Amino acid sequence: MSALATPGGRALSAAVVSAVPLLVFLALLAYFGARAPGFLDPATLILILKQAIPTAVLGVGLSFVVIGGGDDVVAGGIDLSVPSIAVLSAAIIADQLAFHGTGTLAAVLLGFMAAVAAGLCNAVLVTRIGMTPLLATLASSTAFIGFSKLVTANRRIDLSDPLIVTLRDGTVAGLPLGLLAATALIVIAIAAVHRSRWGLRLQAVGGNRDAAVIAGLDARRFVAQSFLIAGVFGGLASLFVLARGSGSTPGVAETLLMETVLATFLGAAFSPRRVVTVWGAALGAILVSALSIGFGSVGVDVFWTGCVKGGLILVVVAAAAVARRSRT
């Protein structure tokens, strides 16, 4: 029997394979630092963090679903609609502020209610109707994008609302206000998933649903809650989407989806067990943002950037599959 055929050998090879996406990213960052000296300047690093905010918040929302449903993207937990929920919520807020004279608080509340309703819709499709999460959220994502185009008449809506401007340009002690707000949300999410009894139960359901049910946990309830929470984070992310784009822009859902999925599963490389975590998704979003800005700093065409991100998603998902197979 070869060394790689032993359990220890398989675990070692799986660890090496699962580290490949992170190593690729680090190599790209080193390349950007060498080709574009200003890439490592404090101003650029702040820009990377600011640009990563929407993806980080969306990645955190997606991580709840993956943790609760398992990291098998076909049969486990996945929510492809989280970015679409954010775009729908952003469209409602922008439309209400720009064309209906709605107050800021009321407009945000309407957008947030739509996001919660979207999360609830996904929960019903998966836990009550019995659709697989992949197909259910792919279908709902298409519907949410359609609704957002209907609300905005598929046009860009510029905003100068004080809340959006403050999230975009405000600072506290020299740090961007939006970054501080997003960090607070991420810290709360980390505490909920990784430091609470509820979070431990959610991880148990995602780790081995049959064992969790035998232990007396209502797996379907935890899965439904994860989709609802993902909708909540989609609503919260809509404010950061509006701030980053200074308004609602058609067509951003596709880019957000690619970046969110890449960041969430890339973040598994930071975990000792190579599993999706809340804090890993946030760190993955920073790396994805650095990748986008890095390609721009060296003059790479934006379409090539999309091709590279798509290829990296394949690498990340393949590495996660290898790591998962080694644990079974």
Domain boundaries, the chain: 21-26+37-327
pLDDT at 176 (0 to 100): 94
| Closest alpha carbon to 126 in 236, 212, 209 | 209
Residue the block writes with tokens 């379907």: 220
Architecture of domain 21-26+37-327: Orthogonal Bundle (1.10)
pLDDT at site 305: 75
Which residues are CB-contacts of 217 (< 8 A; sequence separation ≥ 6)? 201, 204, 205
- Give me the tens of pLDDT residue by residue for the chain, a chain 328 residues long: 444 455 555 555 555 666 676 777 788 788 888 888 788 788 888 999 999 999 999 999 999 999 999 877 667 789 999 999 999 999 999 999 999 989 999 999 999 999 999 999 999 999 999 999 999 999 999 999 999 999 999 999 999 999 999 999 999 988 899 999 999 999 999 999 999 999 999 999 998 888 999 989 999 999 999 999 999 999 999 999 999 999 999 889 988 998 999 899 888 877 777 788 999 999 999 988 988 888 888 777 767 777 777 777 777 777 666 666 665 5
How far does Cα 20 stand from its chain's mean position? 20
- Phi, psi of 172, deg, nearest 5: -135, 120
Q: pLDDT value at position 1? A: 44
* 208-233 core/surface letters (b: 16 or more CB in 10 A; e: else): ebeebeeeebebeebbbbbbbbbbbb
Helices 278-297 and 302-327: crossing angle in degrees, nearest 10, is: 150
- Look at residue 275 in the predicted model and tell me its pLDDT: 84
**Cα(11)–Cα(79) distance, integer angstroms:** 28
- Decide: helix, strand or coil at residue 172: strand
What is d(CA 68, CA 15) in angstroms, rounded to the nearest whole number? 23
What letter represents residue 272's amino acid? P
Phi, psi of 263 (to 5 degrees): -65, -40
CA 237/CA 242 separation, integer angstroms: 9
